[in-house]
Every structure is written in C-alpha cells, then in structure tokens.
C-alpha cells in the first residue's frame, strides 16, 4: 500500500507552487481532486504545447490527479466543492488574495465545520503587510528576494532557469502537509498552514544574506564560478570542451597541481597557496589551469580527476540529461500516460526501502472526471459538520 493511499486531497490550484505540492501527494498514493476553471482550466495548461499539445509545466505537475471543471462562482458548483472538501483530509488553494474567504473556503470557515481538516493556503507574500494583495510570479519573487542580485555575471543579473520560487514554495507546502498529517495522527486535529513564496525563497537566500550582512559587502555575481572557492567552475580543455572542477581544500589543491596540472610548484605559489588567495587571483589561476588542460581532451581530464578524487562534472544538454548513464543504470525513468501519448518522466527523488513504487498516474484532460465526481459527491443530504 502506498503511504498516502487512504487520503483525499481537494485542490483549487493553478500555475506551479500548489500543483507541485499536490502532485507529490498523488505520487505517494493520495487521491487528488484538482478543481479547474471550465473552458480554460489551469492556465499552466497553456504555457506551451510541447508535450503532445499540452504544456511541459502541466505534464510535470499534474500526473495522477482527477480533473473537475467547476465554476466556483456558481452556487451549485461551489456547493459541490464544499461537499468534496467535507469528505477530504486536505484542502489546498492558491487563489488570489481574499478569494478563498469570499467563497467561504478560507481555513477558519472550513475548519469550524471540519476540525480534522488540513488546510494549506499558498500565496505570494503572505497575509498582512503592504504586499499581501500584490500579484506574485516566480521571476518577480526572485527579484524581491534578491536572488537576481547574486545570479548572473558582473555585468548583468540573470534569472534562474527553472521556477525556483515556485518549487521552493511547493516543497515547503508538501513538507508542511506531511507534518500536519503526523500531528493529526497524534491529536486527531487538523490545522491551517500558510506558505508564502517570499518566505520559501527567502529561506533559501539566507546564506547570501548572512554573507552580505556580516561581511559588509554584497555577494558578487560570478557567472558559473563560485564567488568564494577556487578553483571551482568551468575550465576549457583540449578540443574546445569544458569540464567543471570543484577543488574544496588546500590538500586537494596540492594533489590537483601535482597529478593533473603536472606543476607541483604551483601549489606553493604565494598567489595560490590558500583558497582566499586563489579567489583573489582567480583570473590568473584560470588561465594557468586552462593552459595545462589544453593538451588533454575532456574525457582524459575527467578520468584524471576521478583517479585522484577531485569532484568534476560535464555540462550536459537536456538531450544528454535524458540519457544520463547514472539515471539509466538506476532505472529511474518511467512512462506516464496522457491523452496525446506516453510521457517519459522521472521517478520521485525519495526512495524508501521496502515501499511500493510511486503511483505516477496519468495526466488528466480538462474536466475528465467532472461527471463522475458530480455523481459521487451529489448533494443529497446536508454537508456533515465534522468527521469524514
């Protein structure tokens, strides 16, 4: 039995953060009922058309869910949603600020009738404060938390290439829900959770903040290189290839100089003898390293690094990642069904010994389950005030 197989989740969700949290619940076996707008559905369905006509975002975030196309502004559909919630364990929403309360779907209202319900509300900037009603999207929260100020080159800030603010928020919502389930098992009571994007990504920005606050200087933007460790970053080899190298301490630096650069004297050069000096003279260091590596191709360099235990990596394209030898050897790819055809997807990261494999159900068509859910949750008697 999958870990959450006896749980039901109702989610009024859109975009990335909330769907990422509930998809993980679905992978663990929970029944996830996704409420979408009739006609258009979750607007993330239409970010692109890359995956058999649906968006890559939607295909990633919504496998294993049931889709109900309901207009919560209509009394009959809103009553149906409330009926679903009355029979659920978890309710998740990331509606616009104030929208849930106007519909009677805020945590206080719902938990007054259903005290064992876990309600998770996701927002951009949290309740209260001057930004509480401000729209929040991933790039904008990256800006507000200072992430762009530390990402990119000295000349230009650059956004992170994935929806990192949404992902951080979805992960904290997921872990918060699991914590609330554990608490409910002990006490019998549900709870209300608030997860704000600015708080989630703000936590991830703590190290740059601490450096800037206590070093008295902003964290520099250093492109693909590390701002405080050297050598750590990309280095050209023969054949115009690139290998990323991460030397972590002075002992590794000395071995690297002797065995890979074949220049042991470099380790005691006053410009490079400590990590702090190597960072200061990183431009000169990079030139010397690349001159030494130019006589070898990338495979020879990585083999030499592996032999002496120096961390390294190759910069891979998405096509190369899709066939990464480590993922293939560990059988990490599965096929998820969709209306347009099969979708190749990775297993969830956590592997629990002795448990069943993640469910990884199909990607729903908009409103695919509406009729069945209307029949199942038809309001034929008063909505219960407590229990399931």
Q: Model confidence over 92-147: pLDDT tens digits?
A: 999 998 999 999 999 999 999 999 999 999 999 999 999 999 999 999 999 999 99
pLDDT, residue 353, reads: 82
pLDDT higher than 50, residue 286:
yes
Per-residue pLDDT of 337-354, as tens digits, reads 999 999 999 999 998 887
User: Rounded distance, CA 24 to CA 47, Å?
Assistant: 21
Q: Cα dist. 296→85, 228, 301, 305 in Å? A: 63, 27, 6, 12
The average pLDDT across 156-176 equals 97
Average confidence (pLDDT) over 215-224: 90
pTM: 0.90
Q: How confident is the model at residue 386 (pLDDT cuts 50, 70, 90)?
A: very low
- pLDDT of 382: 53
Distance, CA of 23 to CA of 347 (rounded, Å): 12
pLDDT in tens, 56-91: 999 999 999 999 999 999 999 999 999 999 999 999
Distance (Å, whole) CA 289 – CA 269 = 14
Q: What average pLDDT does the chain have?
A: 94
Cβ–Cβ under 8 Å, residues 228 and 248: no
Picking from 48, 27, 19, the residue whose alpha carbon sits closest to that of residue 345 is 27
Q: Name the burial class of residue 350, with classes exposed (0-12), middle (13-18) and buried (19+) by CB atoms within 10 angstroms of its CB.
A: exposed
CA–CA separation, 254 vs 237, rounded Å?
A: 20
- How far apart are alpha carbons 257 and 240 in whole angstroms? 21
DSSP 103-123: TT-SHHHHHHH-TT-EEEEEE
Share of the chain above pLDDT 70, in %: 97
Q: Are 7 and 25 in contact (CB under 8 A)?
A: yes
- Could you tell me which residues are beta bridge partners of residue 8? 31
Q: How, if at all, do strands 8-12 and 90-93 pair?
A: parallel
Is the model's pLDDT at 274 over the cut of 60?
yes
For 231, the token pair is: 């050598």
Q: pLDDT at position 381, please?
A: 55
Query: Cβ contacts of residue 358 below 8 Å, gap of 6+?
Result: 2, 27, 28, 347, 348
Instruction: Grade residue 388 by pLDDT with cuts at 50, 70 and 90.
Output: very low
| Residues 34, 14: Cα–Cα separation, whole Å | 9
The pLDDT of residue 387 is above 60:
no
Rounded to an integer, the average pLDDT of 348-361 is 88
Q: Domain boundaries in the chain?
A: 8-205+334-376, 232-315
Q: Kindly state the average pLDDT of the residues 217-241.
A: 92
Catalytic residue among 46, 52, 114, 226: 226
Confidence (pLDDT) at 120: 98
**d(C-alpha 171, C-alpha 164), whole Å:** 10
pLDDT at 355 over 90: no
Tell whether the model's pLDDT for residue 201 goes beyond 60.
Answer: yes
Q: What is the pLDDT of residue 158?
A: 95
Residue 275, pLDDT > 50, answer: yes
Which CATH number is correct for 232-315, 3.40.50.970, 3.50.50.60, 3.30.1540.10, 3.30.70.20?
3.30.1540.10
| 52 catalytic per annotation | no
The token duo for 289 is 């390293």
CA-closest candidate to residue 41, choices 17, 21, 69:
69
Q: Does domain 8-205+334-376 have CATH number 2.60.40.420?
A: no
pLDDT at position 31 over 70: yes
CB contact set of 101 (below 8 Å; sequence gap of 6+): 109
Distance of CA 260 to the CA centre of its chain: 37
**pLDDT surpasses 80 at 9:** yes
């Amino acid at each position: 039995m999958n870990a959450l197989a006896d749980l039901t989740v109702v989610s009024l969700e859109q975009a990335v953060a909330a769907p990422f949290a509930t998809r993980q619940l679905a992978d663990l076996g929970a029944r996830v009922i996704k409420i979408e707008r009739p006609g258009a559905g979750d607007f993330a369905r239409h970010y692109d058309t890359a995956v058999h006509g649906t968006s890559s975002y939607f295909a990633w975030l919504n496998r294993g869910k049931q889709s109900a196309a309901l207009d919560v502004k209509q009394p009959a559909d809103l009553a149906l949603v409330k009926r679903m919630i009355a029979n659920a364990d978890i309710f998740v929403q990331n509606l616009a600020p104030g929208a849930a309360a106007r519909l009677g779907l805020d945590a206080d209202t719902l938990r007054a009738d259903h005290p064992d319900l876990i309600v998770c509300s996701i927002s951009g900037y949290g309740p209260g404060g001057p930004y509480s009603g401000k729209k929040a999207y991933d790039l904008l929260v990256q800006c507000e938390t200072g992430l762009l100020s530390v990402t990119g080159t000295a000349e230009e800030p650059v956004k992170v290439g994935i929806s990192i603010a949404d992902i951080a928020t979805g992960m904290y919502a997921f872990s918060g829900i699991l914590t609330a389930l554990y608490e409910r098992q002990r006490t019998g009571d549900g709870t209300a959770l608030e997860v704000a994007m600015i708080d989630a990504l703000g936590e991830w920005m703590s190290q740059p903040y601490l450096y800037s606050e206590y070093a008295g200087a902003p964290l520099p933007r250093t492109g693909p290189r590390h701002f405080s460790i050297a050598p750590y970053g990309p280095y050209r080899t023969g054949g115009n290839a690139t290998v990323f190298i991460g030397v972590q301490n002075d002992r590794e630096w000395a071995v690297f100089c002797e065995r890979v650069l074949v220049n042991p004297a470099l380790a005691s050069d006053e410009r490079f003898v400590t990590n702090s000096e190597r960072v200061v003279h990183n431009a000169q260091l990079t030139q010397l390293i690349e001159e030494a590596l130019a006589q070898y191709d990338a495979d020879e360099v990585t083999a030499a690094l592996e032999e002496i235990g120096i961390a390294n990596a190759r910069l891979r394209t998405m096509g190369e990642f899709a066939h990464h030898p480590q993922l293939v050897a560990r059988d990490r790819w599965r096929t998820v069904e969709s209306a347009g055809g099969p979708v190749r997807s990775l297993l969830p990261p956590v592997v629990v010994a002795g448990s069943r494999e993640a469910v990884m159900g199909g990607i729903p068509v908009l409103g695919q389950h509406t009729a069945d859910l209307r029949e199942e949750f038809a309001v034929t008697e008063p909505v219960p005030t407590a229990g399931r």
